[in-house]
Amino acid sequence: MLFKVMGIYLLLMNIIGFSQMGIDKKRAVRGAWRISEASLFLTALLGGALGSTLGMHYFRHKTRHWYFRYGMPAIFAAELFLSVYLFSEYHS
C-alpha cells in the first residue's frame, strides 16, 4: 500500500515538474510573469526531478543554465538512488 501511494505521489510530482517547464517556457516566449527558479527546483526536490528534466529538454527550456543542466539530473540521480535503497531495505 505504501509503495502504491508513493508511486502515485511521484507520478503526480513528475507531471507537475514537466508541466511547469512547459508553462514557464510559454510565459518566457510571451514575456509574461515567470515561475521562479526556486519553485522549479522545489518541485524537483519533492520528487519531480525526472519530469522536470524531461520537460526541460522537451521544451528546450533552461538548458543553457549550468545549474539546471546538471542540477536537475543530479537531483534525479539522488532520488533514484534513495528509492532503490529504500526499496531494497524494505524488502530485505
Residue 88 banded pLDDT, cuts 50, 70, 90: confident
50-80 pLDDT per residue, tens = 999 999 999 988 888 888 889 999 999 999 9
Residue spans per domain, the chain: 33-92
25-57 pLDDT per residue, tens = 999 999 999 999 999 999 999 999 999 999 999
Residues 81, 89 contacting (CB under 8 angstroms) = no
Residues in CB range of 46: below 8 A, 6 or more apart: 13
Residue 30, pLDDT score: 96
pTM, entire model: 0.88
- Cα gap 42→19, rounded to integer Å: 14
60 SS3 class: coil
The pLDDT of 5-10, averaged and rounded, is 92
